[in-house]
């Protein structure tokens, strides 16, 4: 690979995957990492531990519905929770630019504490580095997290099966649209509220009712379209989703229309895609809709077949359907 890193390599889409396959896995490859799930699962002293990390570089750091701190805690909690783990503790590492206001830092830390309390996790360790003015942009945060997966829970990106019903936990695209409308240079006067939220409470109540959920994945960078493709590849299946069943708020459609973006590729920070057996679908929907983060849970499609040529088809009312690819390029850098 005789070329340089571009913003697309950080998109969470096709280019990110290329970098992982060609560089990171070339050296780091091992059975835990190679599963390519939201968290690595380690067996230690007879217990299954989920372990994950994520860095946050969102711009702006304060946006409608959240901030970089709420994002940093929610993102890592959600990557543990979608593996079926009960998140226990996080680390928090800060890279801060010289001159950054202490008042802003305190707002971020307070927000992290409130989100951690809601999720029932502690910050167990931390680190701070300060770099010279101009060496970074304000503040970047990394969080790592650890949690225990109960013995009876088995879920993962490779477990989608023919006949599975696909659910999304709520309206998609809000986080991406929130960041866009919060960027001053774009001149939006009304703001979309981000969906950023810790989902471990919702997921715990789901697993209580349906312990056998085949796949759960938070639809973050690359959006719903990209995570459906990831799951299709991991599970070697063909997926069909119905466009009119995918819940999207009018204001999100409006923002996308103005900028020529597709809400299916916008980031979410509090939404999951779920693959479950057909007979469990209704009880799962019922319990989800009782939770504040699952009120708009909707069935959007299903797994139609096992295949060596994984594909996601978007069906529309008027037409047969088209292939829905994973995100290519990077339309919106620094979304999380």
By CB under 5 A, name the binding residues for Mg ion: 38, 79, 218
Task: Select 50 or 237, whichever has its Cβ closest to Mg ion.
Answer: 50
Task: Select 267 or 297, whichever has its Cβ closest to Mg ion.
Answer: 267
Closest approach of Mg ion to the CB of residue 220, in Å = 5
Nearest residue to 223 via CA among 6, 76, 14, 9: 14
| Strands in 107-159 per DSSP E | 122-131, 139-149
Closest approach of Mg ion to the CB of residue 227, in Å = 8
Q: How far apart are CA 13 and CA 18, in angstroms?
A: 9
Closest approach of Mg ion to the CB of residue 213, in Å = 15
Q: How far apart are CA 234 and CA 158, in angstroms?
A: 5
Find the Cα–Cα–Cα–Cα dihedral 78, 169, 266, 176, rounded to 10°. -70
Q: How far is CA 185 from CA 34, 59, 60, 336, in A?
A: 40, 12, 11, 18
Closest approach of Mg ion to the CB of residue 90, in Å = 15
Q: Which tokens sit at 208?
A: 């209580």
Task: Select 38 or 67, whichever has its Cβ closest to Mg ion.
Answer: 38
Closest approach of Mg ion to the CB of residue 179, in Å = 17
Closest approach of Mg ion to the CB of residue 79, in Å = 4
Q: Which tokens sit at 207?
A: 């697993």
Closest approach of Mg ion to the CB of residue 69, in Å = 18
Q: Which tokens sit at 180?
A: 């866009």
Task: Select 100 or 265, whichever has its Cβ closest to Mg ion.
Answer: 265
Q: Which tokens sit at 255?
A: 């923002």
**CB within 8 Å of 139: residues ≥ 6 apart:** 61, 68, 94, 95, 96, 97, 100, 104, 105, 108
Task: Select 9 or 217, whichever has its Cβ closest to Mg ion.
Answer: 217
Residue nearest to Mg ion (CB): 38
User: Is 199:207 a contact under the CB 8 Å cutoff?
Assistant: no
Task: Select 74 or 281, whichever has its Cβ closest to Mg ion.
Answer: 74
Task: Select 195 or 218, whichever has its Cβ closest to Mg ion.
Answer: 218
């Amino acid at each position: 690979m005789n070329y340089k890193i571009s913003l697309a390599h950080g998109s969470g889409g096709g280019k990110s995957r290329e970098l992982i396959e060609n560089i990171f896995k070339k050296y780091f490859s091992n059975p835990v990492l190679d599963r390519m799930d939201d968290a690595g699962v380690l067996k230690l002293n007879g217990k299954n531990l989920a372990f994950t990390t994520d860095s946050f570089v969102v711009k702006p750091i304060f946006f409608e519905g959240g901030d970089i701190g709420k994002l940093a805690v929610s993102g890592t909690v959600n990557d543990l929770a979608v593996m079926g783990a009960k998140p226990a503790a996080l680390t928090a590492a800060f890279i801060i630019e010289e001159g950054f206001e202490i008042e802003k830092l305190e707002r971020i830390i307070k927000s992290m504490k409130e989100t951690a309390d809601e999720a029932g996790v502690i910050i167990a360790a931390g680190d701070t580095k300060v770099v010279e003015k101009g060496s970074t942009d304000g503040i970047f945060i990394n969080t790592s997290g650890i949690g225990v997966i109960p013995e009876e829970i088995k879920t993962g990106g490779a477990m989608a099966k023919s006949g599975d019903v696909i659910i999304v936990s709520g309206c998609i695209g809000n986080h991406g649209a929130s960041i866009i409308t919060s960027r001053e240079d774009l001149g939006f006067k009304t703001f979309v509220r981000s969906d950023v939220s810790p989902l471990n409470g919702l997921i715990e109540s789901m697993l209580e009712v349906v312990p056998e959920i085949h796949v759960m994945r938070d639809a973050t960078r690359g959006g719903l379209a990209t995570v459906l493709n990831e799951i299709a590849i991991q599970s070697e299946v063909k997926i069909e989703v119905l466009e009119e069943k995918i819940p999207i708020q009018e204001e999100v459609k409006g923002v996308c229309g103005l900028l020529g973006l597709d809400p299916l590729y916008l980031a979410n920070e509090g939404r999951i895609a779920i693959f479950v057996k057909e007979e469990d679908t209704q009880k799962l929907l019922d319990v989800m809709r009782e939770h504040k983060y699952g009120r708009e849970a909707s069935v959007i499609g299903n797994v139609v077949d096992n295949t060596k040529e994984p594909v996601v088809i978007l069906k529309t009312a008027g037409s047969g359907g088209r292939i829905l690819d994973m995100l290519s390029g990077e339309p919106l850098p620094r979304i999380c």
